[in-house]
Amino acid sequence: MVKIGNVELGEFPLLLAPMEDVSDPPFRKLCKEQGADMVYTEFISADGLVHEAKNTFQKLEIFDYERPIGIQYFGGQLDNMIEAAEIIEAKNPDVIDINFGCPVAKVACRLAGAGLLRDIPHMVRLTEAVVKSTKRPVTVKTRLGWDDSSINILEVAERLQDVGIQALSIHGRTRAQMYKGEANWSWIAKVKENPRMHIPIFGNGDVDTPQKALDYRRRFGVDGIMIGRASIGYPWVFRDIKHYFETGEILPPPDIRERVRAARQHLQDSLAWKGWKLGVLEMRRHYAPYFRDLPNIKPYRARLVTEMEPDTLFAILDEIEAVYSGEEMVVG
């Protein structure tokens, strides 16, 4: 049984990675329904929480049906990280996760996210302060290092464990790689093999099929797998991997009814959570992944990403289901 503090995650958990502008409550709900054992919020700015930014506070919203859930945040200022941890704890997450892995310049170049990989002592100070400021289990997500010449994940893992983190998720790329090239899980395996390490180690990066998930589980010895981009438009990835682990069988891909049902639910929940305008606009990035590989889908996709009326959007989704199910549209 893999545990983060007292939070039980099963024998080999599959975790939904925190993804900016993706892993909001509507998307997390879909992934949870398809078997994600733990989910995380979008990453949240400590500075935004301290300064009471409305959009930042909205990202703190979590629901009991999502549990276990971690709220992830980032920052580089010690006082703000402590104050933000207190704000997060009041929302009652199962876990508080610190992001030391975001590679984008506006975060990393301001000594936050992956930027802390260039200042390990400060990373350790921040982490220790957060651990001491909260009763929640504190976990970390990070990368192998800043670049290939400064891979320091072995040191980072030991030092963060020493100051009290209770799990570590490692993306198998450096900051310099961003999301390019191939994730190098051999370094994740080295962390797991270190006899000093006793906390759960979760691997992240490039797992997008059940076969690869089983291969990486066996080869690299991790305690679980965190899945990010492979779940976008395909929350069924969690279901597929779990079924393969249990049976050795590859499930058929979801049919058009399942895809449309997921897109409809995603849109409906987005409207309910974000309101009409933002719910419609922020849903637009999700349509293409839901309907990828469908022949001649481009005209429908163009309509989905330009239409503003929810009723019309639902009608377009119904039309897609009818057309791609081989059924004729009945015009009322």
Q: pLDDT for 7-65, tens place per residue?
A: 999 999 999 999 988 999 999 999 999 999 999 999 999 999 999 888 899 999 999 99
Domains in the chain with CATH codes:
3-247 (3.20.20.70), 256-324 (1.10.1200)
Question: Which residue pairs, CB below 8 angstroms and at least 24 apart, start in 297-302?
Answer: none
Q: What pLDDT, on a 0 to 100 scale, did the predictor assign at position 55?
A: 86
Tokens for 31, please give them.
Answer: 């992934």
* Three-state DSSP string of 177-194: CCCCCCCCCHHHHHHHHC
Half-sphere exposure of 232 (CA within 13 A, CB side): 17
pLDDT at 331 over 50: no
- The β-bridge relationship of strands 7-8 and 3-4 is antiparallel
Q: What are phi and psi of 224, to 5 degrees?
A: 180, 170
Tokens for 64, please give them.
Answer: 């009991």
Kindly tell me the burial class for residue 228, based on how many C-beta atoms sit within 10 Å of its own C-beta (0-12, 13-18, 19 or more).
Answer: buried
User: Cβ neighbours of residue 136 under 8 Å, at least 6 residues apart?
Assistant: 5, 88, 89, 93, 94, 95, 96
Q: pLDDT for 133-173, tens place per residue?
A: 999 999 999 999 999 999 999 999 999 999 999 999 999 99
Burial 163-197 (b: 16+ CB within 10 A, else e): bebbbbbbbbbbbbbeeeeebbbebbbebbeeeeb
Half-sphere exposure of 89 (CA within 13 A, CB side): 15
Q: What pLDDT, on a 0 to 100 scale, did the predictor assign at position 109?
A: 65
Q: pLDDT > 70: what percent of the chain?
A: 98
**Residues with active-site annotation:** 102
pLDDT at 270 over 70: yes
Q: pLDDT for 277-330, tens place per residue?
A: 999 999 999 999 999 989 999 999 999 999 999 999 999 999 999 999 963 333
- The β-bridge relationship of strands 44-45 and 39-40 is unpaired
Compute the mean pLDDT over every residue in the chain, rounded to the nearest whole number. 94
Q: What pLDDT, on a 0 to 100 scale, did the predictor assign at position 330?
A: 33
Question: Residue 38: how many CB atoms within 10 A of its CB?
Answer: 25
pLDDT at 178 over 70: yes
Q: What is d(CA 184, CA 229) in angstroms, rounded to the nearest whole number?
A: 17
